[in-house]
Amino acid sequence: MSDKVYNVLFICTHNSARSILAEGLMNSLGRGGFKAYSAGSHPAGAVHPFALKTLERLHISSEGYRSKDWSEFAGPGAPQMDFVFTVCDNAAGEVCPVWPGQPMTAHWGVADPSAFEGSDKDKAQVFWDTAVVLKRRIELMLALPLGSLNRLSIQREIKDIGTR
């Protein structure tokens, strides 16, 4: 891979769980080659406590995360995104935001763990399961030889990862 740092935005509806987990995972696993951000189309205003606990369980800092509107990344002065991933769950009838511009995009939908109702132990497991799915997808993306693939090939690969 080149010295380029790829900017990645994970967006979902509330920016309180899935996109936060993905942001933390990408920043940790990307080891300086990727800078991840997260946002929501209708941010909850707070990060779900189980998302922060899950990051800690993964040995990822849980500091500095906040639920924010995706418009923060669409205006002047915002970092230019190379990749934008929606992680909302179409099957649950959620409306996934559409990202304008030229970044490569893919839908990596996962069920919203914050919608799960049950014991704290069961909630922790649902958040863990969500993180494992996102971690695997991020690992698959990080394994791609981005420097040697053309844009169309990369686009095809990242879309395919969302089905795994």
* pLDDT for position 1: 44
Average pLDDT (68-79) is 88
Q: How confident is the model at residue 75 (pLDDT cuts 50, 70, 90)?
A: confident
Render pLDDT for 46-72 as a digit per residue (tens, 0 to 9): 999 999 999 999 999 999 999 999 889
To the nearest whole number, what is the mean pLDDT of the chain?
91
Whether 128 shows a pLDDT value over 80: the answer reads yes
DSSP string, 10-70: EEESSSSSHHHHHHHHHHHHTTTSEEEEEEESS--SS--HHHHHHHHHTT----S----BG
Distance CA 111, CA 79 (A): 28
Report the range of poorest mean pLDDT among 1-10, 26-35, 37-46, 94-103: 94-103
Whether 36 shows a pLDDT value over 80: the answer reads yes
Whether 109 shows a pLDDT value over 70: the answer reads yes
Q: What percent of the chain has pLDDT over 70?
A: 91
